[in-house]
Amino acid sequence: MSKTPSPPQSATEGLSVAERFQRLAAEWKQESRYLSNSAQMAMLKPYQRIIGMGAPVVPLILEELSREPDQWFWALEAITEQNPVPPEAMGKVRLMAQAWVQWGERQGVLDHGS
């Protein structure tokens, strides 16, 4: 009797949500470092996998944004179905990051006091 081969395991399988996020975020930063188009950055596989992780990664993305503003806005909007960025901040990464971090604090998703 032949044995059915098991599907290949993901490199991030068995990791905690935080560990998986950190690994995928590092891959995404590596792959996107020479891209300037945010849509192209968001279409990279590691970024799409982060979006696929859903709500549990929102605090991790917000923490990352508070440390180092970057193009996490597409993922946050896709996961939360929210966009707290005021029109005057559009296109200004630091202001956009600040709006999202403040949103996270108001929603109780991000707590800088802990």
Q: What is the pLDDT of residue 59?
A: 97
Q: Does residue 114 lie within any of the structural domains?
A: no
- What is the pTM (predicted TM-score) of this model? 0.83
Counting as low any pLDDT under 50, the low residues of the chain are 6-8, 114
Q: Each residue of 48-69: pLDDT tens digit? A: 999 999 999 999 999 999 999 9
Instruction: Give the count of domains, the chain.
Output: 1
Domain membership flag for residue 90: yes
Domain containing 75 equals: 17-107
Asked, for residue 42, whether it belongs to a domain, the answer is: yes
Rounded CA-CA distance 66/94 in Å is 9
Asked whether residue 9 is assigned to any structural domain, the reply reads no
DSSP 2: P
- CB atoms under 10 Å from CB of 52, counted, come to 12
Torsion sign, CA atoms 45, 29, 108, 101: negative
Question: Does residue 6 form part of some domain?
Answer: no
